[in-house]
Structure 1
Amino acid sequence: MTHVTHVDAKEVLVIKNIRSTAGGLLRGRSLAAQFLVFQLFVVAVVLVAVAAVSVAQSEGEFRDVRGQRMIAVAENMASTPIVRERTEQTRADPFLARTLAPEVDRAVALSGASLAEILGPDGTVRASSDPSRVGARVDLGATRADEGRAWFGDTDIDGTHSLVGQVPILSTDGEVLAIASVSEAYPSVWGLLSGAGESLLVYLGLGAALGLLASWLLSRRIKRQTGGLEVAEIASLADHREALLHSIREGVIAVNGSGEITLLNDGAQELLDVTGPAVGRPVDSVGIDPAVVSLLTPGQESESAMDTVIATRTRVLALSRRPATSQGRRIGTVTTMRDSTELAALQGQLSSHKSVTDTLRAQAHEFANQLHTISGLVQLGEFDAVRDLVGTLTRRRAEISDAVTQRISDPAVAALLIAKTSLAAESGVALDLDPASHLAALDPALATDVITLLGNLIDNAVDVSVGSTPARVTVGIDDRDGLSILVSDTGPGVPEHLREAIFSRGVTSKPDVPGGRGIGLALVRLVTAQHGGTVEVADVPGGGARFEVRLKAATHA
C-alpha cells in the first residue's frame, strides 16, 4: 500500500512507479509490442478470411466449369462406336476391359481428367483407365445417370474428393446399358488459390506487408503519445491520481467546455452536498447551489476567479477557478474549494463585537465631551445648569435602556440593541424597537446566533439609511410563535433580481463599499439555515427594504 503526503506526493509517486513497474518490464512485453502482436493477429485473421473466400469462390468456379467439361467428355466417350457396340452385347465379354482401354485412356488424355470408366447399370466397373478398379463396385446413390439423365457432382473415389460427370449409354428402347463416368480430383487449397490468379497472391502479400508496416507505425505512435509508459505504469499513475485527488481535504471539481463534470473528488461532493453520481452529467443537473453553478460555468472561461466567497444555504465556500488546457487547447475549468463556514461565523461574531466596541468608543467620546461641559459649568459656578444637564442625560439613557429591557429580557440581545441605538445615532439614523416586540431570556448558544443575525441586519440597514429622509431603522423581535426577527430601513431598497444573490458570494446592494463587505447577509442565511429557519426580503411601503428571519421555537434559558 502506498502512503503519500501532500508535501512529497510527486516524488513518492515517481519512486513507487519505478519500483512497481521494473519487474513488469522484464517479465512482459511493452505496450507497443502488445499492440503490434494484436494488430498482426488482426491482419492474419483478415488474410485467412480473404483466403477462405477466395478458396470458396475458386472451388465453386472449378465445380461449375469442370463439371460441364466432365459431362462433355463422358458424352463423347459414350458416343464412340466401339463403346456403344460393346455395351449393346447381351453376353458377357471377358475382354471388354481390354477392348475399351484405349477409349477410356483417350478420354483421360483429352480432358485432363483423373479417371475415366465404363460402369454397368449396377455400378460395376467394366472398363477403367485404372485397371486395378475393373470389377469394383461404385455407389450410384447420388447419381442420376442410372435414371437415363446426365449428371455431375461430388463423390469420393478411393478416399479422394473428386468431381465426377456421368452420362448414360441407352439402348434403342431407352434402357440404360451402361454409364460413362469421367472424374477429376479437386485441387488442393494452394492450387485453388493459384487458380484464383497470381494477382490474388500478390494482393494478399501486399496486404500483409502493409498491415505489418501500419501496425508497426501505429505502435510507435502510441508509444510516443503515452510518453513511453507501459500498461502497468499507466494503471499505476491512474490509481495514484485517484487516490491523491480523493484523499485531499479540499474539494476539486473539473468541468469541460460543454458544462459536464469530468472530475469530482470526495471533498467536493461533501462541500457541495452532491449525493448521487455526478461525473459525466451537466453541472446544473446534480443539485449544486445555483451560485456555485454560475461560477463553475462562467461565460468566459479564460478569466480566472481567485478566492471567490460563495455562501450556499449550509456553508460558506472559498473557491478558486482556473482554466484547464491540454497541448495548448482549452478543455474546461478546474475549481478548488475549501470550507470557510467556521471562519465566516467567527468573522461575523468578531464584526458584532467590533460594532459594540465602536459603540462604546463613541459613547466614551460622548461622555468625555459631556464631562468637559460639566467641568466648564462648575468652573463658571453654574450649578443649576449642571444639575439640569445631568438630569437630562440620565433621563435619556434611562429611556433608551427601559425601552429595550422592558421588551427584551435576554441581556446579551438587549445590550446589543442599546449599543446599536447609540451607534446609529452617531450616523444620524434613528433606531427604534417595535413596541410589540417580546423576547425572553435565551439559551446562550442561541443568543449568540441571534446577536449575529441582529448585528448584521442592523448594520446593513443603518448603512443604507444614512442620508435618507427620514433616516430610520425599525427592529421587531417576537418569540411567542417561534422566533421572528424583523428589520426594516428607509434606504433605496433591494432590486427584485438581487433578492437571492445578496445572500451569496459577497454581493452587496450598497454603493462604494470597500472589499470584504457583503458577507453579513450570507452569514444571516447560513445561521438561519442551521436553525431550520427562513430569511426573506421585501419592499417597505414608502421606500426601503424589510428583512424577516423566522426560526423554529426559541430555546429559552
Structure 2
Amino acid sequence: MSLARQLLLLQVAVLALVIAAGTALGIVDQLRDSDDANRREVTAVAQTLALSDSTAAALRSPDPTAMLQPETERIRGATGVDFVVVMAPDRTRYTHTNPALIGQPFDGNIDRALAGETFTETYAGSLGPSVRAVTPVYDDGTLVGLVSVGVTRARVGAEVAAGLPLLFTLAGAGLVASTLGALLLSRRLRRQTLGLAPDELRRLYEHHDAVLHSIGEGLVVLGRGRSGDGEFVELVNDEARRLLDLPDGPVRLADLPESLRSADPDEPADAGDEVHLTANRVLVVGRHPVDWERRRIGTVLTVRDHTELREVLGELDSARGFAETLRSQAHESANRLHTIVTMVELGRYDEAVAFATDELRLSQHLIDRLMSTVEEPALAALLLGKVGEAAERGVELTVTEDTALGPVATMRPRELVTLVGNLVDNAVDAARDTDNPWVEVSVRQEDSMLVVRVADSGPGLTPDALARATARGYSTKSGSRGLGLALVAQVVSRHRGSVRTEPSAGSMLVVEIPLAPVAGDA
C-alpha cells in the first residue's frame, strides 16, 4: 500500500474517532447543561410557590389539598415541570400529579429543607428518576410545610434527543469535510511520492544515496514548480560539484553556469548531448527531462569531463592537417618532378633547374624559418600544416617574418595548439567568403608577454560579437564545431590574459598572455 493511501486511512480513522469522541462529549455536555437549567427552573418555581402568602394560608386551613391541588396543577402546566408537591413537615402530601398519591408520604430527602435550606437532588421517586428542588414554607417564622418541584430524567432525555439530529448532522458534515481534506492531502502526497510505499521510498533513498556517491559522472537534478514558475536545483552530487566548481551546501540555480540554467519546456526526452565550456573545462552535458502523469516535473543533467579529450582532439586535428599538407605536398612534388623530368628530356635544362629551385626555395624557407624561430615543435608543425590546409581551401595564409617564440614554461603545448589553431581556423572560415581571401598570423614574445595576432580579409567582429563568441557554451555551428573562440577564451582566462579586436586592413584578433606566473597563481 502506498504511503499516501496509508496516510489517508490513518487520517480518516483518526478523524472519525475524534468526531465520535467530540459528539459523545457534546451529548454529555448537553445533558449537563440541561440538568443545570432544570435545577435552576425547579428551584425558582419551588421558591416562588413557597414564598406565596396563599400557600402558607392554605397549609394552615383545615383542607390544604382543596386549596392547593388546583393551583399546583395550574402552575405545573404553565411552567412545564413534571410534578409540584406541597407537603406537611411530616412528609404527608397535600398535592401530587397523581391524585391517588395524595395523603401518602413523600419519597425523598427533606432533612435539609426542614433545617431551612433550599436544595436540589436527583432522586428516583414515584414518577421515576427526577431532578427535584425542595424548599421550606414559613408563616410568621414557623415552618408550616415543604414544596418540592421536579422534572423527570425521561423528559430531560427527550429534550436532549430532540437536539441530537442537529448534532449528528454537524458531526457528519465535519467528517465529510475532513475526509475530503484528507483525500486532497493524500492526492498531493501521492504526487509528491510518486505513489510509492514507505518501504519502497526507504529503498529508493538508500539506492539513490549509494548511486550518487559511486557514479563517476556529474549529476544535477532540476525540479520544476507546480505553477510552471521555473526550475530550481534539487540535487547535486559530488562529481558535479567538482566539475562545475559549485560551493558546499545548498546550490541555487544562479550558481550553475549560465548555459545550464535554462531549458526548453517542450524539449524531447531523447535530446542529445551538448558541449558546454566552463572556466577550466570542456564538459559534455546530457539533458534528460523527467515526466510523470504527462507533466514535466524536472530535468536530470549528466555532466562528463571531456577537457583532456578535447585537447587531444585539437592536437590530433593539427597533426591530421599537417599530414594532409604533407600528402598534398608529396602529390605536388610528384607533379613537379614529372614536369622537371619532361623538361630535361626535352633538353630544356636551364628552365628545369630554375623551376625546381624556385619551388624548393619557397617551401624550404618557411620550414627553416619556423623551425629556427619557434622552439615549440607542436606550434611550428601546426603553423606549417595550417599554411597547406588554408591553401587547399583557397585561402592565402602568411606567417609573418617577425614570428618568433622561445620556450613557454607557463603554457602546455596543448594549450598553444588550442589557442593558435582555433584562431587560425576561425580566420580561414571568415576569409573564405571574401573575393580575395587571405589570413596573416603572427606569434611572438613582447616584454614577457605572448602576443598572437591573427588578421584576415573577413568582415571582422564587433566587441559585442566577440563577447558573444567567446562566451562559455556559445556556438553558432552545428555538431562539435563552433566552440573555437570559446576555447580560446578559456585558455586566455586560465592564464589571466586578454583577447580583443583591432582595426586593420581586414579584421584582427589580438591575444595577450603573460609568460611570467601571475601573483596568486598556484
Q: TM-score under structure 1 normalisation?
A: 0.67
2:412 counterpart SS class: helix
Structure-1 residue corresponding to 2:48: 75
Q: What is the alpha-carbon distance in structure 2 between the residues aligned to residue 543 and residue 161 of structure 1?
A: 116
Of 480, 485, 490, the residue aligned with 1:521 is: 485
Report deviation, 1:348: 0.9
Structure-1 residue corresponding to 2:111: 134
Q: Tell whether 2:496 aligns with 1:533.
A: yes
Report deviation, 1:398: 5.3
Of 229, 233, 245, the residue aligned with 1:273 is: 245
Q: What is the alpha-carbon distance in structure 2 between the residues aligned to residue 480 and residue 118 of structure 1?
A: 133
Q: What is the alpha-carbon distance in structure 1 between the residues aligned to residue 324 and residue 305 of structure 2?
A: 30
Q: What is the alpha-carbon distance in structure 2 between the residues aligned to residue 218 and residue 503 of structure 1?
A: 47
Of 435, 442, 454, the residue aligned with 1:475 is: 442
Q: TM-score under structure 2 normalisation?
A: 0.70
| Structure 1: gaps spanning 5 or more residues | 1-24, 88-98, 120-127, 146-153
> Is the CA contact 1:506–1:517 (under 8 Å) kept in the aligned structure 2?
no
Q: What is the alpha-carbon distance in structure 2 between the residues aligned to residue 220 and residue 401 of structure 1?
A: 78
Of 9, 18, 22, the residue aligned with 1:49 is: 22
1:244 counterpart SS class: helix
1:460 counterpart SS class: helix
Provide closer, same or farther for how the CA distance between residues 419 and 209 of structure 1 changes in structure 2, counting only shifts above 3 A: closer
Q: What is the alpha-carbon distance in structure 2 between the residues aligned to residue 117 and residue 436 of structure 1?
A: 139
Of 304, 308, 315, the residue aligned with 1:342 is: 308
Of 258, 261, 270, the residue aligned with 2:229 is: 258
Q: What is the alpha-carbon distance in structure 1 between the residues aligned to residue 173 and residue 244 of structure 2?
A: 56
1:517 counterpart SS class: coil
Report deviation, 1:230: 3.9
Structure-1 residue corresponding to 2:258: 290
Q: What is the alpha-carbon distance in structure 1 between the residues aligned to residue 108 and residue 437 of structure 2?
A: 136
Q: How does 1:334-413 map to 2 (within 5 A)?
A: 334-393=300-359, 395-397=361-363, 399-401=365-367, 403-404=369-370, 407-413=373-379
Provide closer, same or farther for how the CA distance between residues 155 and 497 of structure 1 changes in structure 2, counting only shifts above 3 A: farther
2:511 counterpart SS class: strand
Of 280, 284, 293, the residue aligned with 1:314 is: 280
> Is the CA contact 1:307–1:320 (under 8 Å) kept in the aligned structure 2?
yes
> Is the CA contact 2:243–2:305 (under 8 Å) kept in the aligned structure 1?
yes
The alignment's C-alpha RMSD in Å is 5.2
Percent identity between the two aligned chains: 28
> Is the CA contact 1:33–1:219 (under 8 Å) kept in the aligned structure 2?
no
Q: What is the alpha-carbon distance in structure 1 between the residues aligned to residue 379 and residue 189 of structure 2?
A: 71
> Is the CA contact 2:449–2:512 (under 8 Å) kept in the aligned structure 1?
no
Q: What is the alpha-carbon distance in structure 1 between the residues aligned to residue 315 and residue 153 of structure 2?
A: 99
Structure-1 residue corresponding to 2:211: 244
> Is the CA contact 2:131–2:151 (under 8 Å) kept in the aligned structure 1?
yes
1:69-126 CA deviation, whole Å, 9 max, x = no partner? 4212212123255647999xxxxxxxxxxx99x999x98995447999999xxxxxxx
2:285 counterpart SS class: strand
1:197 counterpart SS class: helix
Count, aligned residues: 480
Of 434, 456, 468, the residue aligned with 1:500 is: 468
Partner amino acid for 2:257? D
Partner amino acid for 1:73? A
Report deviation, 1:305: 2.7
> Is the CA contact 1:78–1:180 (under 8 Å) kept in the aligned structure 2?
no
1:346-396 CA deviation, whole Å, 9 max, x = no partner? 211111111211222233233333333333343344443344445434543
Report deviation, 1:407: 4.5
